[in-house]
Structure 1
């Protein structure tokens, strides 16, 4: 009987480590991508991309099996003034009438320490695709107390060059390098 109880206890401890990857849907109300840059050295303005759509798969037992795919509708771009919103959506920058979305799709996920990941992927803006590396921190993975579903949250940062994506107007006076700061919350979809 003792051997049976010991085997059952060991199985209970090992089972979570062997859990299959979990796929989550991004919660657009709790996901934000913020871009910030230097404006002639005087200020560091920012714009945010809301209405993010996408999913992520996370496998804590085999991080390399994890992935993320995100679409950023430029209709959710907000630079906090109507005039600047119009300018960012013009052909000088995103040309959102012709290219209404940007996207990111991971190509590699690597462990980078406790609750840290390096996520390499393809960022596509204005039909131009370039590799980008995100430095990611796992904030929390648990049952959400309000949503009553399994949820996960990450923060991430990356540096990109505007000119790589045909967005280089006014460089170098307006910095070519843009810092991306991302926060996301994602949930396991509830069964319908």
Structure 2
């Protein structure tokens, strides 16, 4: 029994020792959303202040763990009046709930360089499991920094009502919110 414990501990230490952290290159990243307005048109928005990290020990990222946070007050739809309303208690209540976050719980292959990313999304004080589509766009050595880079694209749809963000009826603001994010990540040295 003791021998088995030592072997398991050695395997765990090896896995931890080779895990790499990848940091978001904020100059080459975005976190966007789209929601239907009046049931006939779409309104796009984004969070201007967000960060993400990846931890992975495998070069194909098949064991990756993703973490993301966004500053709710940084919401931007190119309309200051609407943005102020979205930050209010009618919607996100940015003063009471200043951040939204996502922490992955599993990553399942779904084709070449494609994955189903499951995790817990916390928004407006509510945490719910979500499943998102993730694409590894590629890896390469950065031509100037000579560091390892990886790029990912994330997409999915969530229900705003499930997170108690219900400031307007669905006839005015749709319940389904489409999320799309792109990001380049640099391997930490």
Pairwise same-fold verdict (TM > 0.5): yes
Deviations 1:113-161 (A, max 9, x none): 1010111000000110001111011111111113321111001111100
Question: In the superposition, relative to structure 1, how do residues 61 and 83 fare at CA in structure 2: closer, same or farther (>3 Å)?
Answer: closer
**What residue ranges of structure 2 are gaps of 5+ in the alignment?**
1-17
Runs of 4+ in 1 over 6 A off after TM superposition: none
TM, length-normalised to structure 2 = 0.84
State the SS of the aligned residue for 1:45: strand
Question: In the superposition, relative to structure 1, how do residues 148 and 60 fare at CA in structure 2: closer, same or farther (>3 Å)?
Answer: closer
Larger Rg: 1
User: Which residue of 2 is the match for residue 177 of structure 1?
Assistant: 176
Aligned equivalents of 2:45 and 2:178: distance in 1? Answer: 11
Aligned equivalents of 2:109 and 2:20: distance in 1? Answer: 17
Aligned equivalents of 1:142 and 1:180: distance in 2? Answer: 26
Match of 1:56 among 54, 57, 64: 54
1:42 CA drift (Å): 2.7
User: Which residue of 2 is the match for residue 5 of structure 1?
Assistant: none
1:37 aligns with 2:10: no
Counterpart contact for 1:21–1:66, Cα < 8 Å: no
Matched residue count: 171
**What residue ranges of structure 1 are gaps of 5+ in the alignment?**
1-19
Question: In the superposition, relative to structure 1, how do residues 104 and 51 fare at CA in structure 2: closer, same or farther (>3 Å)?
Answer: same
State the SS of the aligned residue for 1:109: strand
Aligned equivalents of 1:39 and 1:57: distance in 2? Answer: 37
Match of 1:109 among 107, 110, 133: 107
Counterpart contact for 2:49–2:70, Cα < 8 Å: yes
1:61 CA drift (Å): 5.3
Which piece of structure 1 moves more, 53-62 or 32-41? 53-62
